[in-house]
Each structure stands twice: as structure tokens, then as C-alpha cells.
Amino acid sequence: MSTQKPEALLERIISVSSEPGDVILDPVGGTGTTGYVARKLGRHFIMVEKVAKYVDAAERRLEALQLGMGEPERNRKEQVEPSGVF
């Protein structure tokens, strides 16, 4: 089961629980939604993820943001299937 959270939900949570420049910890980074939103809101972040396909998806998403391109179209449409490893 995929547990990717909507960006709008994470924007609200991060905005009310931290200040710009704070560090956000996501111990189950997944496809990088928390890091993506944190960076957009001026926060630093630490993400932990052990599944390679999630790490790859998160790297693509964060690289696109860093280059000023926003979220890649393929990340918005693509749902990465969970591997069953918990």
C-alpha cells in the first residue's frame, strides 16, 4: 500500500510546526515528498530511505526542484509500488 502524502497536507504540517531554516526529519523518506515540501518552504531536511527505487524517485524530484523546474511530470503521475519491506 502506498502512503505518499499530498503536498498540501505536508505544507500545512511543516508550516505550522517549524520555522524557515529549521531541520525536518523524515525517517521513511519514500519518494521525497516531505523533503520536496520542506525545501520549497525554506527548511532543511534529513530523509532516510533504504529502498533503491524510492531513493531514485526522491533524487529526481529534489534535483528538479533545485534546478528550478518544479516537480517532474513523471513523479506526479507515477506511483511507486511498495516493496513489502517494512
Taking 80 as the threshold, does the pLDDT of residue 30 lie above it?
yes
Is residue 70 within 8 Å of 64, Cβ to Cβ?
yes
> CA 71 to CA 23: how far, in whole Å?
21
> CA 50 to CA 47: how far, in whole Å?
10
- The pLDDT assigned to 66 comes to 79
- The pLDDT assigned to 76 comes to 47
Domains of the chain: residue spans and CATH: 7-77 (3.40.50.150)
CA nearest neighbour of 35 among 74, 76, 5, 2: 5
DSSP H/E element including 38: helix 33-40
- The pLDDT assigned to 16 comes to 98
| pLDDT tens digits along 39-61 | 999 999 999 999 999 999 999 99
Q: How many Cα atoms occupy the beta-carbon half-sphere of 61 within 13 Å? A: 25
